[in-house]
């Protein structure tokens, strides 16, 4: 009996869903494996535990679930092993981060039809330890078939939120069909409530349909973050935008979560940013931490004249009084001097402020043929120090899931590396430190500390962009490396730099010249017991 058939695939991607409501064997036939871009199956009753089953069409149909997906992902020698990446296709920003019961939920911007950015969906994965992930069905789809329209847009970034009654929901942006990447589009804000199972939203409604055009807000109007504000006794939302061309963060207020009032801008960037290319704020994050309020923003389009860097994330610390953000200093803290750390999203859970970011800056791409693009940073815990600087450090769960194994220095003054993540720590006088990781004769990366400045260099850097940061009196430096992801933490995490290289990802040797004390660890995965699901 024929249950379901797509007679032919069209010139543009289409999304099909089929529910098989009978028990027994099913025969699947196909005649064009290449036209199936992303396929998965699942049993709604068990998928939360087992994860989806990926359907890989070739000469045969290969089904992979749970550990089989993990093993397939690990078989790619170019894929980082400690950092989250999507099974297939394009990923960008982390979205909707939250903890429900014992499960951490990570949603992310996903384009399931290719390894390039395109019509946006929300991918979804869960974990009990923030490092081992179970891949779940796509959570949000664009409102319309944007591929067919030849348009982009869709379910853009947003946050998870729990209201005063404990109801879990998500606020996100829908970019309506867009025919230009930089202007003339329309962005609306939507609310998706979460069903019992946390697998699908049980409805999605528009809560802000128009932007404050008369106040000078142009097409950029996105990436909501919502919270319950104790002092005003009402809900508050920030949105990334531009105000008369200056990157800005807008504040909205609501009593019911379904209708929102514009309360005005709470941040407007100095003209310097607009003059150097910044078009808008993206992914504003605003949260209270250690008695203060912290604003984190990406300025899309901005190039820093003194270094040539773009894709920078900035933080500012201050107070939030009467719906006004009063920064302690006008200066913005550069959150990552390496610039491969963008669209950071943080959330509160277990008494900690935890964040993840997308490791990408549009300078470089994975080599052609990769089944996916995009990785997340290590989950990080955020703190403030006495000087009011935002500190970031890998979360403590890293220690329980990836054990440290000390490495001894080899006779020639270098360390031999296996193809495993490593964690290098220096304490003491950092000045005149040079760290070189190499794969055979090829340098993977170089870190140089000299006269109060720390820099990460990749061999293919052309000198036009300088990835460095100044520090005043640091005595600690830590580097975590995982298959071409280099995350640097200096001065307790007040200075962080992340870079992603795709050229050389498995250094076999590292040399450290330094007056500081050096310890090098390899990280070994602690085997987690995990259920393997039955194929769908």
Which residues form the interface with ligand FRU (CB under 6 A)?
A: 92-93, 109, 120, 156-157, 173, 222-223, 282-283, 343
Ordered strands of the 372-373 beta sheet: 134-140, 121-127, 103-111, 89-100, 372-373
Smallest distance from the beta carbon of 359 to ligand FRU, in angstroms?
12
Smallest distance from the beta carbon of 486 to ligand FRU, in angstroms?
21
Smallest distance from the beta carbon of 221 to ligand FRU, in angstroms?
10
Q: What is the DSSP string of 426-488?
A: EES--TTEEEEEEETTEEEEEEEEETTEEEEE-TT--SSS--EEE-SS--EEEEEEETTEEEE
| d(C-alpha 518, C-alpha 97), whole Å | 35
Residue closer to ligand FRU by CB (options 295, 443) is 295
Smallest distance from the beta carbon of 481 to ligand FRU, in angstroms?
24
Smallest distance from the beta carbon of 286 to ligand FRU, in angstroms?
15
Count of positions (residues) in the chain: 536
Going by the DSSP 8-state scheme, the letter that residue 419 receives in this structure is S
* Catalytic site residue from 31, 76, 93, 229: 93
Smallest distance from the beta carbon of 222 to ligand FRU, in angstroms?
5
14-44: string of b/e by CB count within 10 Å (b at 16+)? eeeeeeeeeeeeeeeeeeeeeebebbbbbee
Whether the CB-CB separation of 255 and 220 falls below 8 Å is answered with: no
Q: What is the DSSP string of 56-104?
A: EESSSEEEEETHHHHHHHHT-TTS-SSS---SSEEEEEEEEEEEETTEE
Residue closer to ligand FRU by CB (options 251, 494) is 251
Smallest distance from the beta carbon of 123 to ligand FRU, in angstroms?
12
Q: What residues are paired with 287 via a beta bridge?
A: 294
Residue closer to ligand FRU by CB (options 92, 204) is 92
Smallest distance from the beta carbon of 140 to ligand FRU, in angstroms?
12
Residue closer to ligand FRU by CB (options 340, 522) is 340
Q: What is the Rg, in whole angstroms, of the alpha carbon atoms belonging to the chain?
A: 23
Residue/partner pairs of 263-267 with CB below 8 Å, 24 or more apart: 263/323, 264/215, 264/323, 266/238, 266/295, 266/323, 266/324, 266/325, 267/295, 267/297, 267/316, 267/325
Residue closer to ligand FRU by CB (options 91, 382) is 91
Smallest distance from the beta carbon of 220 to ligand FRU, in angstroms?
8
* Locus of tokens 């404050």: 212
Smallest distance from the beta carbon of 157 to ligand FRU, in angstroms?
3
Sequence-ordered alpha helix ranges (H) in 292-365 = none
Compute φ and ψ for 345, nearest 5 degrees. -130, 135
Residue 107 Cα to chain centre, angstroms:
9
| d(C-alpha 125, C-alpha 376), whole Å | 12
CA angle 212, 218, 221 (to 5 degrees): 75
Q: Has 93 been annotated as catalytic?
A: yes
Residue closer to ligand FRU by CB (options 313, 520) is 313
Angular region, 203: left φ>0, alpha ψ -120 to 50, beta rest: left
Residue closer to ligand FRU by CB (options 51, 94) is 94
| d(C-alpha 264, C-alpha 251), whole Å | 6
Ordered strands of the 152-162 beta sheet: 152-162, 168-178, 187-194, 201-208
Q: What residues are paired with 446 via a beta bridge?
A: 436, 457
Class of residue 142 by CB neighbours under 10 A (exposed 0-12, middle 13-18, buried 19+): buried
Residue closer to ligand FRU by CB (options 242, 392) is 242
Q: Take residue 155 and report the two structure tokens written for it.
A: 């379910």
Residue closer to ligand FRU by CB (options 105, 175) is 175
Residue closer to ligand FRU by CB (options 120, 243) is 120
| d(C-alpha 411, C-alpha 346), whole Å | 44
Per-residue CA distances from 27 to 5, 207, 499 (Å): 12, 44, 46
Active-site annotation, residues? 93
């Amino acid at each position: 009996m024929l249950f379901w058939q797509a007679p032919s695939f069209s010139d543009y991607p289409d999304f099909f869903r089929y529910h098989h409501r009978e028990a027994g064997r099913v025969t699947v036939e196909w005649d064009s494996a290449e036209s199936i871009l992303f396929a998965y199956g699942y049993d709604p009753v068990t998928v939360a535990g087992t994860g989806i089953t990926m359907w890989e069409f070739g000469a045969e149909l290969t089904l992979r679930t749970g550990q089989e997906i993990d093993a397939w992902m690990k078989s790619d020698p170019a894929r980082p092993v400690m950092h989250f990446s999507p099974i297939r296709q394009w990923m960008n920003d982390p979205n909707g981060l939250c903890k429900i019961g014992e499960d951490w939920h990570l949603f992310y911007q996903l384009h399931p039809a290719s390894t390039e950015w395109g019509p946006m969906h929300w991918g979804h994965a869960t974990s009990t330890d923030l490092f081992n992930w179970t891949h779940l069905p796509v959570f949000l789809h664009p409102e319309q078939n944007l591929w067919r329209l030849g348009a982009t847009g869709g379910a853009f970034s947003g946050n998870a939120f729990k209201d005063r009654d404990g109801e879990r929901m998500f606020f996100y942006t829908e970019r309506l069909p867009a025919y230009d990447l930089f202007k003339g589009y329309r962005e609306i804000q939507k609310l998706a409530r979460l069903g019992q199972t946390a697998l699908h939203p049980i409805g999605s409604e528009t809560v802000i349909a128009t932007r404050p055009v008369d106040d000078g807000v142009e097409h950029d109007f996105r990436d909501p973050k919502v919270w319950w504000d104790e002092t005003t006794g009402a809900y508050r939302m920030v949105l990334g935008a531009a105000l008369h061309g200056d990157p800005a963060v807008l504040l909205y207020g609501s009593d019911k979560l379904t209708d929102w009032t514009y309360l005005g801008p709470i941040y407007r960037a100095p003209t310097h940013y607009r003059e150097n290319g910044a078009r808008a704020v993206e992914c504003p994050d605003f949260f209270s931490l250690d008695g203060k309020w912290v604003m984190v923003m990406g300025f899309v389009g901005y190039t820093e004249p003194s270094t040539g860097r773009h894709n920078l994330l900035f933080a500012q610390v201050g107070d939030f009084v009467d719906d006004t953000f009063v920064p302690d200093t006008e200066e913005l803290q550069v959150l990552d001097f390496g610039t491969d750390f963008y669209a950071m999203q943080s959330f509160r859970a277990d008494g900690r402020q935890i964040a993840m970011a997308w490791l990408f800056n549009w300078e470089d791409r994975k080599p052609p043929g990769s089944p996916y693009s995009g990785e997340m940073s290590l989950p990080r815990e955020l703190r403030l120090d006495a000087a009011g600087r935002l500190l970031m450090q890998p979360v403590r769960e890293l220690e329980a899931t990836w054990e440290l194994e000390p490495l001894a220095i080899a006779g020639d003054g270098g360390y031999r590396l296996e193809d495993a993540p490593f964690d290098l720590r220096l304490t003491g006088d950092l000045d005149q430190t040079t760290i070189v990781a190499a794969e055979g004769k090829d340098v993977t990366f170089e870190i140089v500390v000299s006269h109060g400045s720390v820099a990460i260099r990749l061999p293919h850097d052309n000198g036009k962009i300088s990835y460095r940061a100044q520090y005043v009196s640091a005595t600690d430096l830590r580097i975590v490396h995982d298959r071409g992801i280099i995350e640097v933490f200096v001065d307790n995490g007040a200075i962080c730099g992340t870079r992603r290289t795709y050229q050389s990802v498995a250094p076999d040797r590292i040399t450290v010249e330094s007056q500081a004390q050096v310890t090098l660890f390899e990280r070994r995965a602690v085997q987690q017991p995990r259920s393997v699901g039955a194929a769908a």
